[in-house]
Structure 1
Amino acid sequence: SKKQEGTGDSTETFEIPLLHNSVVWFSLDTNRQYRHKIVLDSQSKEHCFGQNEWLGITFRTSKMFLKDAATLWKGVGLTLATESERKEFYALRKQENEETDFLWPSLTYTVSPSDLLEPVSITES
């Protein structure tokens, strides 16, 4: 649904039915302009048999490893979130889902410990 400028009122609503093995891709502008959600069709026969699964992926700024440490752009180190930072992160994620003009602040922490693991080189024999 598209939000009317300056209000929380939706001016336009539409559905995009997704067939099995389908993909929807939003540009950053579209993602900001429209509120969207994925709703599982509970009437689907596939759903009854556990075949109707979906995966949502969001791409964000990534880290890299410099001098054996997880590092963000401009050399800022990435750290594991404290409990208060975890709460802040999930509040920001909720806000992102509710607001069409949401902009993420710069964060220097992650809620996923695996983000701090050094990549492993795999060499073929």
Structure 2
Amino acid sequence: SKKQEGTGDSTETFEIPLLHNSVVWFSLDTNRQYRHKIVLDPRSKEHCFGQNEWLGITFRTSKMFLKDAATLWKGVGLTLATESERKEFYALRKQENEETDFLWPSLTYTVSPSDLLEPVSITES
């Protein structure tokens, strides 16, 4: 839940219980409007499947093109974030989760070393 600014309304919360092997999908607009979290089921282990594990996946649109290397607009190369850039990135991600009108600035770095791997051509045999 995210409180609507200027309305004075109290924050509305609700729960979406998920069954084993289930998925919940938020649109970009819904993700901007609401804060969400995953709460593990507190029931005893005999009522839960496995170790009550979950996997959260976030898909984002990238402005990066892959040719021979990771390249951004106008041929600018993507670089691995420095420590200060990593801190900036995670502060921006926190801000994205707290604000409904957040827009990401243009970044020329990544916090994921795998983003810098050269693409591999896959050929069928």
Deviations 1:3-60 (A, max 9, x none): 2233796432110001111111111111111111111112252687753111111122
1:101: Cα distance to partner?
2.5
Preserved CA contact (<8 Å) 1:41 1:47: no
Deviates more, 1:75-84 or 1:49-58: 49-58
Provide closer, same or farther for how the CA distance between residues 45 and 74 of structure 1 changes in structure 2, counting only shifts above 3 A: farther
Preserved CA contact (<8 Å) 1:79 1:108: yes
Partner of 1:22: 22
Matched position secondary structure for 2:88: helix
- The size of the alignment, in residue pairs, is 125
1:122: Cα distance to partner?
2.0
Partner of 1:41: 41
Q: Percent of pairs identical after alignment?
A: 98
Preserved CA contact (<8 Å) 1:63 1:70: no
Q: What is the alpha-carbon distance in structure 2 between the residues aligned to residue 106 and residue 88 of structure 1?
A: 13
1:69: Cα distance to partner?
1.7
Q: RMSD of the alignment, in Å?
A: 2.6
Preserved CA contact (<8 Å) 2:67 2:119: no
Residues 1:54 and 2:54 aligned together: yes
Partner of 1:118: 118
Q: What is the alpha-carbon distance in structure 2 between the residues aligned to residue 56 and residue 111 of structure 1?
A: 18
TM-score by length of 1: 0.82
Deviations 1:60-101 (A, max 9, x none): 232655552201245332111111101101111122222232
Q: What is the alpha-carbon distance in structure 2 between the residues aligned to residue 92 and residue 83 of structure 1?
A: 14
Q: What is the alpha-carbon distance in structure 2 between the residues aligned to residue 119 and residue 7 of structure 1?
A: 49
Matched position secondary structure for 1:15: coil
Unpaired runs of at least 5, structure 1? none
